[in-house]
Structure 1
Amino acid sequence: MDEPASRRRILVVEDEDNIAMALDYVLTREGYEHDRVANGADAMPKIRETRPDLVLLDVMLPEVSGYEICQNIRMDPSLKDTKVLMMTARGSAMERRKGLALGADGFIAKPFELKELREEVRRLLAPADGAGGNV
């Protein structure tokens, strides 16, 4: 059974307020339940507490990097179903490879088109059984 968007929980880990506000706008319009932390050190406690379906994760964060957070998510068996979409202003191929190697499910370069972000979030939250029709 397909869950409505409002039942899908997203955690935004982003230290830049203007980007966080844009993400808040998109996620609210899409009907997702979401929360935000602005500091890398606060991310893992919040992820363990709220068990989001998706973490929108900035690479460059104060205190703990997005790469380290992604790695910590992947090392925690209780978070195996949590999807990770990494975001970075330095969207080089090397950055992308590193993020994917650490277990990210997707990678998006900032500044991003809101349409691109929406599509990526939908792709990552699509039912795993293939009912979404994507092959």
Structure 2
Amino acid sequence: MSGTIELLEAQPNPPEPGTLALLAAFIDAARACASACTACAAGCLAESDAGRLAQCAATCLDCADVCDAAARIALRPLSAARREAMAALVQACAGMCELTARECFRHEMHHQHCRLCMEASRACLEACETLLEAI
């Protein structure tokens, strides 16, 4: 499979080099976060105390959906007209990542999947903030 930068560069009007790297980093972080959130939700539901982890599972699933959608949309050409919409989507992604990191922090001492999800959510939040400064 091609790398994210290669996919972005293959577009008819690729992003400028500075934006290209930040956009690729965001896409990769959002994809990683979506995977970690999906795995964490599944882990929460498989735990013996799944009832206590229901809110965590729900938050993780919401975050996974938002991150996945943001990553897919970010792969599309970023025209001047789409910058505002893209910024709104990245802000939504950042908000979900922040909520998820806080929720998983509550459980990370007892569940490794929560620790891993918290770390991925924080990394995605950082990538969101960096990209928002550039767009």
Answer 1 or 2: higher relative contact order, Cα 8 Å, separation at least 6: 2
Calculate the TM-score normalised by the size of structure 1. Answer: 0.26
Calculate the TM-score normalised by the size of structure 2. Answer: 0.26
Relative to its length, the structure with more helix (as a share) is 2
